[in-house]
Amino acid sequence: MKDYQRAEFNVIASLNFLNLTQNGIISIGLLAGSLLVAYQVSRGERTVGEFVSFLTYLTQLYGPLNILGTLYRSMVTTVVDADNLMKLLAEPTEIVDSASAKELVGVQGAIDFDNVITAHS
C-alpha cells in the first residue's frame, strides 16, 4: 500500500510541476508578446486588429497544450494503475482448493428479498 501511495504522490507531484511550468511559460509568453504588440500599436506600427489577431493566435496555440497536459496526466495515471493491478494479480491466493476437492454440481443460488423496506428520497 505504501508503494501505491508513493507512486500516486509522485504522479501528482509531476503533474503539478508540469501544470506550473506550462502555466508559467504561457503567462510569460502572453505578457511579453502582449507588451511588444501593445507598444507597436501605441507607436502606430500595428493596428488594434493586429493586436486582437495576435491574442487570438496565442489562444489557439495554447489550447492544444492544455489537451497534451490532460493526455499526459491520463496516461501516467493509467500506467500507475496498470502496474498496481499487475502487482495485485501476482499476489498469491490465500484460499486454495485442496487436490481432492470436488466440483459442485446442481447447486443453484437465489436471493430472496422478503419484508425489505426501502427509503424514498
Report residue 45's pLDDT band, with 50, 70 and 90 as the boundaries. Answer: very high
Is 118 within the bounds of a domain? no
Is 101 within the bounds of a domain? no
What's the domain range around 53? Answer: 2-90
Is 53 within the bounds of a domain? yes
Mean pLDDT across the stretch 78-90?
A: 89
- For residue 66, give the amino acid letter: N
Is 109 within the bounds of a domain? no
Is 52 within the bounds of a domain? yes
pTM of the model: 0.50
Where in the chain does DSSP place strands (E)? none
Q: What is the sign, positive or negative, of the torsion defined by CA atoms of 58, 61, 67, 68?
A: negative
CB 73 within 8 A of CB 14: no
Rounded Cα distance between 40 and 53, Å, is 14
Rounded Cα distance between 72 and 12, Å, is 12
Report residue 8's pLDDT band, with 50, 70 and 90 as the boundaries. Answer: confident
Number of domains in the chain: 1
